[in-house]
Structure 1
Amino acid sequence: MNSQAQPRAESAPSAVVGSASVTLGNAPSPENGYQPADERGPAQNVPKPVRPEGMNEETAEGLEKFILYWNDCVNYGIQTGDFSYAEPLVSQDYTADLELYVWAEEVYARGGWVVGGRREVVLNKDALAEQGNGVYRWIGNLNVEDMQAYLNEPGTIVDGSQTRGRSVYFQATYKDEKWVMDIVAFAEAFPS
């Protein structure tokens, strides 16, 4: 057994399915470029999200750019604990994402890190619908990697498999010349 401190699990807003023992040691290495988090330490040299030009236009292309940028910002936050890019993009009523941000920020603030948890957005190009009053819904998929938080002992795995292959609605509102993410929910949560 290694004499170094062992990471401790933090509960996350999802189902726990297992655990693992780890040792610390993923030291920063700027010459190696981006390194994802692993059981030895947090992600290193994570690229900051870049706001795409044309994102804040009330067009299908603008909304697509917004959704992909929002996702990049959340992925950045999961890997760094810095959700300053993501928070301004979501409605204060979208509590599921805001709670994830608070949870991850706390893990990092206490000296821990998150492995996995990155999300991939896949949009169905034929499934965008205007709901009126600047509200749009776009059907797609939000595939989420399993996630594991490390603090001072073995971490527990948060299962992301329930997201794979299930349709979701990305609902955003265009107001004051910008998009705001209202909610992402499994498609069956919305009536037809």
Structure 2
Amino acid sequence: MRLLVPAAAAAALLALSGCSDPEPGSPLPTGAPAETSTTAPPPAPTATATPTDDAPTPEPGPAPTLPPEATTDDAAGAEAFVRYWYDSLNYAIRTGDTASVREASLLPECIECEALASSVESAYDAGGSLVGGRADVVEAIAPTPDGSGAVLLSVVVQQQPLQRLDSAGDVVSDDMGEGVDESSQSVVIGRNDTGDGWLMVGLGQ
């Protein structure tokens, strides 16, 4: 299943597949010490750091910011905006903060946008979280805007499997799937009310 679906996006997000941690590397080989012709004791070992399970969790980083090139009323601006929108969605999935993706969407008209944002918020309610699910834009192709204020783009997206965890860190939804999923999406964006930027209007397969 994919993150982007025309109507049932809320249910789809929670049913997406989860990813597993990579296998740890093999331990260094050990063997008997080489024979020596001296009876001198080996040098004292040097103190080394001991790994700990209390290492801090990496910070999620700042929310993405809209780049100037994603506001221009041309094909390049449309393509840059779509990439920014997916960056905002990825940030929401990673942190539960949907402010950026909501601000970049025409709500409530964009039903898919609302469903996706609400699904993320629901997953993070009561301390839950989402792991994985990153959607990377491989290609975004936009025609030259025709002056109507709307542009239909063809977008290729690669999405990682996703897990939903509860507040205790236990897996609530975990469909391992077949790894990274690549799909073609149709995306519609439109100029905002002030005409100085874009908004996501609709998306689907």
Q: Same fold by TM (over 0.5)?
A: yes
2-structure distance, mates of 1:28, 1:51: 32
RMSD after superposition:
3.1
The question of whether the paired residues in 2 share the 8 Å contact of 1:171 and 1:184 is answered with: yes
The residue type paired with residue 180 of structure 1 is L
- Cα deviation for residue 160 of structure 1 reads 7.6
2-structure distance, mates of 1:160, 1:133: 41
Deviations 1:100-152 (A, max 9, x none): 21121122231011001111112254x53646521111112122222111114
CA spacing shift, 1:62–1:27, aligned 2, 3 Å = farther
2:60 counterpart of 1:60? no
2-structure distance, mates of 1:115, 1:16: 13
**Equivalent position to 2:116, from 100, 103, 106:** 100
How high is the sequence identity, in percent, across the aligned residues? 23
**Where in structure 1 are there 5+ consecutive unaligned residues?**
1-11, 21-25, 36-43, 187-192
2:11 counterpart of 1:13? yes
**Equivalent position to 2:198, from 173, 179, 185:** 179
Counterpart in the other structure of 1:157: 174
- Largest Rg, 1 or 2: 2
2:167 counterpart of 1:167? no
The question of whether the paired residues in 2 share the 8 Å contact of 1:114 and 1:150 is answered with: yes
**Where in structure 2 are there 5+ consecutive unaligned residues?**
1-9, 20-52
- Cα deviation for residue 154 of structure 1 reads 2.9
Name the SS for the 2:11 alignment partner: coil
Counterpart in the other structure of 2:3: none
2:68 counterpart of 1:86? no
Runs of 4+ with deviation above 6 angstroms = 17-20, 159-163
**Equivalent position to 2:125, from 86, 92, 109:** 109
Q: Decide which structure has greater strand share.
A: 1
CA spacing shift, 1:88–1:123, aligned 2, 3 Å = same
TM-score by length of 2: 0.64
Q: How many residues align?
A: 157
- More moved, 95-104 vs 73-82: 95-104
The residue type paired with residue 13 of structure 1 is A
2-structure distance, mates of 1:179, 1:168: 18
1-structure distance, mates of 2:11, 2:143: 28
Equivalent residues in 2 for 1:4-83, closer than 5 Å: 13-14=11-12, 16=15, 29=56, 35=58, 44-83=59-98
CA spacing shift, 1:53–1:124, aligned 2, 3 Å = closer
1-structure distance, mates of 2:54, 2:148: 49
TM-score by length of 1: 0.68
Name the SS for the 1:69 alignment partner: helix
